């Protein structure tokens, strides 16, 4: 008598669902913030000290690169990148840890939110302004922070294997060898 899917299948499913739910949540948060910014910041700026809420639009990609390309080309390229990232995360998620899954969801969600926003009118709505950095949005923050976390997780040294540990802790081993 079977009690349900085995642990590996459950882990696979859970990992993938977590990445997709995280991506949807981050995309939703950003799209709501963009809609609110377009209404609330249309004729004003809010000064929060180091950060100002100020409405701006970007017809290019990062740092306005490609802003002379047709919007459809940028949407197609960035949408294809979102599909590739999602497919990669789908395969990778079952083996990833919790932090990696959330970071992958942040990257995918941020990219998806910007693609959906750009598909609407050919430009991305930005609303976070520092004065020393180009105006950006939460989706950009999710993308960058998620990418940094993934890089940091993969840059850490691998834990020692059982073989290496047994060689260094073997009572009979000659330390001069």
Catalytic residues: 126, 140
Q: CA 115 to CA 29: how far, in whole Å?
A: 14
Buried b (16+ CB within 10 A) or exposed e, 112-128: bbbbbbbeeeebbbbbb
The rounded distance, in Å, linking the Cα atoms of 71 and 84 is 20
Backbone phi, then psi, for 46, in 5-degree steps?
Answer: -110, 125
Helix (H, G, I), strand (E, B) or coil at 97: coil
How many angstroms separate the CA atoms of 162 and 177, rounded? 19
First to last CA, the chain: 55
Q: What is the distance between the alpha carbons of residues 108 and 146, in angstroms, rounded to a whole number?
A: 9
């Amino acid at each position: 008598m079977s009690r349900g899917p085995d642990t590996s299948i459950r882990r696979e499913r859970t990992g993938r669902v977590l990445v997709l739910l995280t991506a949807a949540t981050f995309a939703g948060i950003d799209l709501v913030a963009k809609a609110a910014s377009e209404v609330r910041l249309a004729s004003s700026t809010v000064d929060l000290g180091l950060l100002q809420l100020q409405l701006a639009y970007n017809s290019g990609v990062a740092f306005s690169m490609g802003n002379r390309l047709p919007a459809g080309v940028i949407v197609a390229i960035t949408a294809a990148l979102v599909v590739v990232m999602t497919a990669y995360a789908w395969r990778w998620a079952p083996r990833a840890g919790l932090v990696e899954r959330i970071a992958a969801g942040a990257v995918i969600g941020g990219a998806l939110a910007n693609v959906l926003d750009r598909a609407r009118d050919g430009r991305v709505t930005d609303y976070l302004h520092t004065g020393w950095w180009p105006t950006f949005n939460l989706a950009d923050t999710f993308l960058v922070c998620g990418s940094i976390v993934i890089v940091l997780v993969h840059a850490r040294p691998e834990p020692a294997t059982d073989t290496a540990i047994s060689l260094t802790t073997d009572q009979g081993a000659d330390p001069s060898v």
